[in-house]
Structure 1
Amino acid sequence: MRLKLALPLALAACVTAPPAEDLPERPVTPPPDAAYLGSQTRLLDSDLVNFLVEMRGARDTRDAAAYARCVAAQYALIRGYGFARHIRTIVSEEGGVWRADAVYTVSPALPDGARTLDAEIEVARCREDGIPTI
C-alpha cells in the first residue's frame, strides 16, 4: 500500500517541460534570486551539441531553458560560429534544482529553421540580463 502512495508523490516532485516548440523564446526578465549552478557541454557530432545546465530560483521552465540558450550561444562563439539552431530542450525540477537538457546545432552561417539564434546578439542579451554564458 505504501508503494502506491509513494510513487505518485515521487513523480509529482519531478516536473517535465512541454516540448520545446511550446516554450516561449525567452522570459521577459530573469528571476531576481536565481543561482546558476553550472553547465556541461557534450559534443554529439561535429555541429550537434548537448548542453546540461542547473539552477535554483527558476520561476518555471522558461528560466532554465534561457540559461541553456545562453550557454549554447556562447559555445557557438567559442567554436568560431555565429549561429545556433534549437533542436529540443527538456526541463525538469527536483528539490528546487531546475535542470535543462538542451540540444542545438552550431554553424557559421544562418541555419534553416524557425528556432535559430544569432550567437553574438544572444550573448549580449544574456550579459545584459545577468544570465551566465558558461
Structure 2
Amino acid sequence: MRWSVACLIGLAACQPVQTSQNAAFSPTYEGIRTDFLDGDLVNFNVTMRGARTEADLRAYAECAAAQYTLIRGYGFARHVRTTTKMQGGKWHADAVYTISPALPRGVSTIDAEVAVANCKELGIPTV
C-alpha cells in the first residue's frame, strides 16, 4: 500500500494514494540544486515535468530536504517556505528548510529518516 507524502508529517487522516491515479502519473524529475544559506537554513531548487499539481513538486523538494538533512548528520527538518512556477512546460520550486539534530518547533516538521524511506517507496528521487 502506498501513502501520500503528506503522511510524513504524521497527519492522522492520511489515505492511501489510489493505484489508478499512480498509473497515469509518470513524472520526469529533472534535478535538484542545494544551496546552504546561513546557520541551519538550506535552499532547494527542484525542476520536474509531468507534475499533476504543485503538491507533486513540493513533495520532490521535501524529499530532497529530507535526504540532505541525513547527509549533514541531522535527523529533522522544518519547512520554511516554497514558491512554485510553471515555465516552458517545466515546474520549478524554490524551497527553504531548516535542518536540526532535534525536533524543531513548528507544525511543518519532518522526520528525515521516515521521509526518505517514504520517498523511496513513492519513487521520488532525493539528493
Same topology, TM > 0.5 = yes
Letter of the 2:123 counterpart: G
Tell me the residue number matched to 1:132.
125
- For residues 91-120 of structure 1, what are the alpha-carbon distances to aligned partners after superposition, in whole Å with 9 as ceiling and x for unaligned? 111121001100000000000000000000
Letter of the 2:6 counterpart: E
Aligned length: 111
Alpha-carbon distance in structure 1 between the residues aligned to 2:122 and 2:89:
22
Secondary structure of 1:131's counterpart equals coil
Tell me the residue number matched to 2:99.
106
* Percent of residue pairs identical: 59
Letter of the 1:100 counterpart: A
Could you state the TM-score of these two structures normalised by the residue count of structure 1?
0.78
Alpha-carbon distance in structure 2 between the residues aligned to 1:43 and 1:98:
22
After the TM superposition, which segments of 4 or more aligned residues of structure 1 sit over 6 Å from their partners?
none
Higher gyration radius (CA): 1
Alpha-carbon distance in structure 1 between the residues aligned to 2:96 and 2:45:
9
Unaligned stretches of 5+ in structure 2?
A: 8-16
What is the 5 A alignment of 1:68-87?
A: 68-87=61-80
- For residues 70-129 of structure 1, what are the alpha-carbon distances to aligned partners after superposition, in whole Å with 9 as ceiling and x for unaligned? 000000000000000000000111121001100000000000000000000000000000
Could you state the TM-score of these two structures normalised by the residue count of structure 2?
0.82
Unaligned stretches of 5+ in structure 1?
A: 1-23
